[in-house]
Amino acid sequence: MSSQHDDLDAVKKVVDALEPFQSEERERIIRWACEKLGVSGQRSVGTHPDRQREEKDGERRDAPAGGSAARGTDIRTFVNEKKPDSDIQFATTVAYFYAFESPEAERKLSISSDDLQNACRYIGRERLNV
């Protein structure tokens, strides 16, 4: 079994473990996990002073006030700025981008293996072994 396959299994386990929690609880858990793992280059996932709350489809969402989506940062630029060292850090970076930094219409609360493969294609990274 390759390390990339194990990485995707780890992502699935994380998603499954976070499923029963509310969005704010998920953000806090992910932030704590990133801090515990010493993931470098990651901004805090939780509430930030320059974030504004926004209601969308009856669900509370964080929208960046002047964040990278407002500046037009795409996934390639965002991932290259964060410089993830491993597949797990890459998956976390992609998930963060889609949850908080992507254009509002493209935001997602979770990502799939297809999203990760597409992100690899967009940024010119070697595809993950699934």
pLDDT of residue 1: 45
pLDDT of residue 92: 93
According to DSSP, the β-strands at 51-56 and 59-64 are antiparallel
Among the residue ranges 58-62, 70-74, 104-108, the one predicted with the least confidence is: 58-62
Does the pTM surpass 0.75? The reply is: no
Residue count (the chain): 130
- Record the tokens describing residue 16, joined without a space: 């499954």
Q: Which residues contact 28 (CB under 8 A, 6 or more apart)?
A: 45, 46
Q: Could you read off the pLDDT of 12-41 as tens digits, one per residue?
A: 888 888 888 888 888 888 888 877 777 754
